[in-house]
Chain A
Amino acid sequence: QVQLQESGPGLVKPSETLSLTCSVSGGSITSGSYFWTWIRQPPGKGLEWVGYTYHTGSAYYNPSLKSRLTISVDTSKNQFSLELSSVTAADTAVYYCARDKTRGDAFDLWGQGTMVTVSS
């Protein structure tokens, strides 16, 4: 079955760019009709939808992050990525990649999450 796995640095300095990758295994990122999504959760807080990409490369971002955010897809590597620039301590969170049941539906598949701390 399809599985998701996040990877990337666990520590990022303030003002730098946070970069994460979600590798998709057990299926092709181009098959089906899914939004490949990033969701984050600050320590002790709730969930925040960050944005998603489609396998065609189109993307939609949370307006609160849009000016700093890029989500892209690499179909040759079967993965999608997140880049968040000019990070501050407020961007410290567990970052999850996820997939919806079908495009625009609820999230039924999640990665295990990766903790990213913004600190000097």
Chain B
Amino acid sequence: QLQLQESGPRLVKPSETLSLTCTVSGDSINSDSHYWGWLRQPPGKGLEWIGSVSYTGTVHYNPSFISRLTISVDTSTSQFSLHLTSVTAADTAVYYCARRPYYHGFDVWGPGTSVAVSS
């Protein structure tokens, strides 16, 4: 059974870089029919798609983040990562990683990790 698990620091200082990793277990990340995505949900607000990556490294980014976002994949460790630079308090949110089959919705989600941006 496929499982995703986010990991990374829970507290990041303003202007620094937020780095998170999603570990995929129970199935292969080397799938030519899935995207692996990052999403977030600020406190009390809705869901926001950040970006997605395929196992080949092809990425799609939300234009709202494109100037400070990098998403990458490491198939040797079955992980994909998010790096968001120059964070502000507005980046405080629960961050989720999730799988999305081509032409389908996000069908498997990690439990989420809460990240606060504060000095």
Please say whether chains A and B are actual partners in one complex.
no
Q: Which residues of B contact A (CB under 8 A)?
A: none
Q: Which residues of A contact B (CB under 8 A)?
A: none
